Structure 1
Amino acid sequence: MRILAVEDDEVLGEAICQRFTKMGQGIDLVTSGDVANSLLKRHEYDLILLDLNLPNLNGEQILKKLRARASNTPVLILTARAQVEHRIELLDLGADDYLTKPFDFGELEARCRALLRRNQGLGKDIISYGNLDFDRKSCTVTIAKELIDLKQREFRLLEIFLTHQGKVLNKDELLDHLYSFDDSPSPNAIETYVARLRKKLVNSSVDIKTLRGLGYLLAEPNE
């Protein structure tokens, strides 16, 4: 999952980044509204955490411009404003959810998972694929009810494939989902992670096919 955090409080922004980075998520932090708007014009994110009181361009303006471009990227507003009328206005502008500061990081993670489920048409945190169960909440994967050990990047790579079923994903797209701008992955990083993932999922229903010159495709599950 690739997240954009737009937060002018650098201490809070760094805390958010550390939290999600430890979970193996790719996350970018920007502290200015105009920089955030420029990024969103050029890059696709899985989720946006958006503060409102930003320099140069405020959160409401960023949200309006994002929805005017017909983007359906989930947006979670982080706000210190608690008035009901203001929260209604944000939802009407196109926000998907909001969280009032100060907030608990556990609740932030839960709301992020809920937004991703909704955006991907999923009803729960567990994705079942043949004999494999992928649990976003507990960050575990089982094959035929037996727990398997995946490293963070392998877990997140599997998550990308499972949430993009039927879509061919090239290396650049996979890198965009896995890494933030501060990371410097080698050109062969995706090949390495796909190879490792295949080995660990050899007894599962997951079949990641390589389409030469195009990318990777998660095949239909073999029951």
Structure 2
Amino acid sequence: MRVLVVEDEPRLAQTLRRGLELEGFLVQLAATGTDGLWWATEHDFDVVVLDIMLPGMSGYEVLRRVRAQDVRTPVLMLTAKDGDYDQVDALDLGADDYLTKPFSFVVLIARLRALLRRRAPQQPTQLRAGDLVLDPSRRSVHRGDAVLTLTPREFGLLEFLLRHKGNVLTKAEILQNVWDVHYDGPENVVEVYVGYLRKKIDTPFGRSSIETLRGVGYRMLDPDGTGHGQLEHEAGTTPG
């Protein structure tokens, strides 16, 4: 789940980033209204957390322009402006929720998850590939009756693979969606984490859920579609 946080106070922005990442979100920060508008309109996010009092462009104007470009991403206004008319203005401009500072982080997470549920009620509450089941809302993973424990990064990688089950995903796509669009480290970190994931979701069960296509990327096999979930890697592929 990708969230854009538009917040100009550095300490609060970093606190939000750390807390949201622990909850499984991939976080992009923007410190000005201008940058926030660019990120919100040029990239895909699942939800936006937007301050009102921002340098460059107010949160109200960011919201107005975002909606004018028909970007329907849910927006939660997170601001110190707590007047009734402030909330009315934000909601009239197209905000989906409004939370005032100081705020409870638990409440913020609950409201973000509620926005995500309302945005895509048609999507399954669980992601599956055979007997491998990931529940995004409960942050749980099962293989049959076995409960699997994953790190936040492993969970995010598995969720991304399952959401695109049957499709080939390049390392660059995985890095952009599971790490960060600004990540500038080596691409082989993807290989490392795919290896970690396989040791937890496949090796103990004699399965092979993630296919490696050498020089191309990875694909989550679908036992009912693109694969059988217990296939060995195709000739010419490696477990990396």
TM class by shorter chain equals 0.7 to 0.9
Q: Which has the higher contact order (CA 8 A, sep 6+)?
A: 1
Q: Name the aligned partner's letter for residue 171 of structure 2.
A: K
Alpha-carbon offset, residue 53 of structure 1: 1.0
Structure exhibiting the larger radius of gyration computed from Cα positions: 2
Instruction: Name the SS for the 1:72 alignment partner.
Output: coil
Cα deviation code 1:156-193 (max 9, x no counterpart): 11112233446543322221112235644311222332
Q: CA deviation at 1:221?
A: 4.4
Match of residue 135 from structure 2: 135
Matches of 2:168 and 2:201, distance apart in 1: 19
Map 1:137-156 → 2, pairs under 5 A: 137-156=137-156
Look up the match of 2:94. 94
Residue type of the alignment partner of 2:172: D
> What is the aligned length?
223
Aligned to 2:79: 79
Comparing 51-60 with 163-172, which one deviates more in the overlay?
163-172
Stretches of structure 1 lacking an aligned partner (at least 5 in a row): none
Change (3 A) 1:172 1:34: same
Could you report, residue by residue, the CA deviation over 1:77-123 in whole angstroms, capped at 9, with x for unpaired residues? Answer: 11334445543443342323222222111111122222233334357
Question: Aligned in 2, Cα 1:136/1:130: closer, same or farther, shift over 3 Å?
Answer: same
AA aligned to 2:157 is L
Q: 1:72 to 1:148 in 2, by over 3 A?
A: same
**Partner residue of 1:208?**
210
The alignment's TM-score, normalised by the length of structure 2, stands at: 0.76
1:25/1:179 contact within 8 Å kept? no
Decide which moves more: 173-182 or 97-106.
Answer: 173-182
What per-residue deviation string (whole Å, max 9, x for no partner) do you get for residues 115-137 of structure 1? 23333435786545542332334
Paired residues for 1:132-211 under 5 Å: 132-165=132-165, 167-180=167-180, 183-202=183-202, 203=205, 207-210=209-212
Q: Give how far 1:17 is off.
A: 1.3
> Could you tell me whether the CA contact under 8 Å between 2:128 and 2:162 is conserved in 1?
no
- When residues 90 and 38 of structure 1 are mapped into structure 2, their CA distance, relative to the original with a 3 A threshold, is same
The aligned counterpart of 1:32 is 32
User: Residue 8 of structure 2 aligns to a residue in which SS?
Assistant: coil
User: Which position in structure 1 is the counterpart of 2:109?
Assistant: 109
Contact 1:206–1:218 (CA under 8 A) maintained in structure 2: no
How far apart are residue 147 of structure 1 and its match? 1.0
Q: CA deviation at 1:51?
A: 0.6
CA deviation profile, 1:13-55 (whole Å, cap 9, x unmatched) = 2211121233454323222111222333443333211111111
Q: Deviations over 1:184-219 (max 9, x none)?
A: 431122233223323422249983344566544434
Kindly report the root-mean-square deviation, in angstroms, between the aligned alpha carbons of the 2 structures.
Answer: 3.1
Q: Distance in 2 between matches of 1:37 and 1:116?
A: 20
Paired residues of 1:117 and 1:124 also in contact (CA < 8 A): no
Residues 170 and 103 of structure 1, relative CA distance in 2, 3 Å threshold: same
Check whether the contact 1:4–1:48 (CA below 8 A) recurs between aligned residues: yes
After TM superposition, what 4+ stretches of structure 1 lie above 6 angstroms from structure 2?
A: none
Q: Return the letter of the residue paired with 1:6.
A: V
Query: Is there any run of 5+ residues in structure 2 with no aligned partner, and where?
Result: 229-240
With the length of structure 1 as denominator, give the TM-score of the two structures. 0.81
Deviation track 1:51-87 (CA, whole Å, cap 9, x = no partner) reads: 1111110112112222233323222211334445543
Q: Aligned partner of 1:134: which letter?
A: L
